[in-house]
Amino acid sequence: MNRALTRWGLGGLAILSSIVVFLVPFAFIVTTAVMDSRQAGEFTLAWPRQFQFVENLTTVLQTRDYLLVIAFINSTVLTVVSVTALVILGAMVAFVLQRRKSRLTGLANFLVLTGLIMPPAVVPTIWVMQKLGLFGGMPGLILIEITYGLSFTVLLFRAFLATVPRELDEAAIIDGAGPLRLFFRVVLPLLRPVTVTIIVVQSVNIFNDFTNPLYFAPGDQNATVQLTLFNFQSQNLTSYNLLFMDILLITIPPLIMYLLFNRQIVAGMTSGAVKG
């Protein structure tokens, strides 16, 4: 009877509230990013009096000797290398963990859960990295991202492996495949769907990571995009248009990921969550 009312009334109300609650902040980012600095300093959601898209963009990129450009390169290297390593190392661990029950299984499961829940001990980690000469550089930061992302990756791979029939392994073994061949030629290609999910979710996580670059890779030459945001905040108060241009720029990569891989992202974040 009142199905139409629910459908249109409630839906319309929800759409209206979503505009106020979710779209306005994003509209604010976009408009402020293209304003001149005086209008941006007024903090109002308004149509830009003067469109300065190109000008603001070039200024942001040039600030502090192209720091943002360097940061984008750093973030890309960090994300690509860490995620690649995560996929290979995580799948190897999950493969043995899921297929072979041994004395190590219980310990490994425990460590995976610990890694998922426990916050890392910051200063002792820095101490260990200094002893190994890994502190303050990209290689060290990459290893850190691998360490902190491993648990989630293993859990997702393990859950998916449970659905891959063992008969496939056995067929390959009978054909004379060794463990490496079995894993890289037979099993890993079968994990493609979950691999895409892991790549997308971890890329977004690592690209957006702020805390670990802050602690483990200080210094301009290592800056990642998240750290550049504070440049425009502390330098001077009149550069809010540049701050929001920066925010806009670093929002674009996750947005593209979301448009392309919407389903995988949602699946990864909910499935990884369900049995955590």
Residues 47-76 that bind another protein (CB under 8 A): none
Give me the least distance between CB of 50 and another protein, in Å please: 19
Give me the least distance between CB of 209 and another protein, in Å please: 9
Distance CA 209, CA 250 (A): 12
CA-based nearest residue to 212, from 107, 272, 136, 112: 136
CB under 8 A: which stretch of 64-72, 76-84, 189-197, 254-262 binds another protein? Answer: 254-262
- For 81, the token pair is 């290398």
Restricting to residues 94-113, name those near another protein by CB under 8 A: 95-97, 99-100, 102, 104, 108, 111
CB under 8 A: which stretch of 47-55, 65-73, 118-126, 191-199 binds another protein? Answer: 118-126
Give ∠ CA 224-226-229 in degrees, rounded to 5.
115
Distance CA 201, CA 191 (A): 16
Give me the least distance between CB of 53 and another protein, in Å please: 18
Q: Is 119 in the site for another protein (CB under 8 A)?
A: yes
Site string for another protein, 210-249 (x = CB under 8 A): xx--xx---------xx--xx--x------x--xx--x--
Contacts of 226 (CB under 8 A, 6+ apart): 75, 208, 209, 210, 213, 250
Distance CA 85, CA 87 (A): 5
CB under 8 A: which stretch of 48-56, 59-67, 142-150, 188-196 binds another protein? Answer: 142-150
